[in-house]
Amino acid sequence: MKIIECPRDAMQGMSGFIDTAMKAAYINQLLEVGFDTIDFGSFVSPKAIPQMRDTAEVLELLDLFKSKSKLLAIIANVRGAEDALHFEEIDYLGFPLSISESFQQRNTNKSIQDALETVENIQNLCETKGRTLVTYISMGFGNPYGEDFSPELVAEFVEKLDEIGVQIISFADTIGVAQPELIKSIFETNIQAFPHIEFGAHFHSTPDTIQEKVEAGLQGGCRRFDGALRGYGGCPMAKDDLVGNVATEKLIEVLEANGHELGLNKMELGEAMKLAQVIFP
């Protein structure tokens, strides 16, 4: 069972700039907890996501020697991937691919076809540099723009990514609309059809639906979940009203209640929760 903690997602939509040293202090505390991966920053246009303009500086301040957690950075184009790959400390690059043409344009200023070509180019770069690409299928459980959506369409995108050689795919509930039956079905279907791919869940959720979404993912076979402490964040490119991330503390509670041993340092987790209160208003 893997938990990917996402401070980058929690921070990116905030209007006030978080000091670089404060960002680094928070991520260093998260590194003490024992999460599988920390989604710590992004190499994207500062005009698009000004909060993440200091990702390279934050990376220099991270104490990675005592932690087993791996680092993931989000990128939106080949140039961003090339920038991220300069840093050996980064294990994963994450690219948001949408099955919604409207959202792909809003999020990366590309058509879906262009985005697929970008994914292929980044996958090739990652293979050359010995890194791993994580592709997020945005709008993976519904579409707010009136465009076609179906589980079959999701499976078509998975097949395209499989042909490119992508090994990790995370289904993103970008606007928080996923229903448990659909979650279970999408994971079950794709895990059975593509057993060599690692599938993850990046849910956005209101607090009252976290448990049912996580349990539906578990029932479908998902063993990789993204979260953010206290449920901060959401996607600022999706629509005006943010639906926050799954709160990691609730995610942990649900996973443990379902019999999963996570091996986390709960004392360090408590310290991270305290620091989150300081960083996020």
Which pairs count as long-range contacts for 50-54, CB under 8 Å and 24+ apart, including other chains? Answer: 50/17, 51/11, 51/12, 51/13, 51/14, 51/17, 51/18, 52/8, 52/11, 52/12, 54/20, 54/23
Tell whether 207 is covered by a domain: yes
Tell me if 175 sits within 8 A of 243, measured CB to CB. yes
Q: What is the mean pLDDT of residues 60-87?
A: 97
Q: Supply the pLDDT for residue 109.
A: 77
Q: Supply the pLDDT for residue 243.
A: 56
Tell whether 180 is covered by a domain: yes
Tell whether 275 is covered by a domain: no
pLDDT in tens, 14-67: 889 999 999 999 999 999 999 999 999 999 999 999 999 999 999 999 999 989
Tell whether 97 is covered by a domain: yes
Residue 114 tokens, joined: 């262009």
Q: Supply the pLDDT for residue 238.
A: 36
Nearest-angstrom CA–CA distance, 124 and 126: 5
Q: Would you give the DSSP letter of residue 17?
A: P
Confidence label for 111 from pLDDT (cuts 50, 70 and 90): confident
Nearest-angstrom CA–CA distance, 236 and 33: 27
What domain count does the chain have?
1
Percent of the chain whose predicted confidence (pLDDT) is above 90: 77
Tell whether 67 is covered by a domain: no
Q: What is the mean pLDDT of residues 61-86?
A: 96
Q: Is 82 exposed, middle or buried (0-12, 13-18, 19+ CB in 10 A)?
A: middle
Tell whether 106 is covered by a domain: yes
Give me the domain span that covers residue 79. Answer: 2-18+41-52+73-259
Q: Supply the pLDDT for residue 241.
A: 42
Residue 98 has pLDDT above 90, yes or no: no
SS3 258: coil
Residue 16 sits at φ, ψ, to 5 deg, of -80, 135
Amino acid at 229: L
Nearest-angstrom CA–CA distance, 213 and 178: 8
Residue 281 has pLDDT above 80, yes or no: no
Tell whether 33 is covered by a domain: no
pLDDT in tens, 215-261: 999 999 999 999 999 988 754 333 334 457 899 999 999 999 999 99
Nearest alpha-carbon partner for 39 in 55, 54, 25: 55
Nearest-angstrom CA–CA distance, 149 and 246: 23
Tell whether 25 is covered by a domain: no
Q: Residue 243 sits in a domain of what CATH number?
A: 3.20.20.70
pTM, rounded to two decimals: 0.93
Percent of the chain whose predicted confidence (pLDDT) is above 70: 96
Q: What end-to-end distance do the CA atoms of the chain give, in Å? A: 31
Nearest-angstrom CA–CA distance, 47 and 52: 10
pLDDT in tens, 179-208: 999 999 999 999 999 999 999 999 988 888
SS3 94: strand
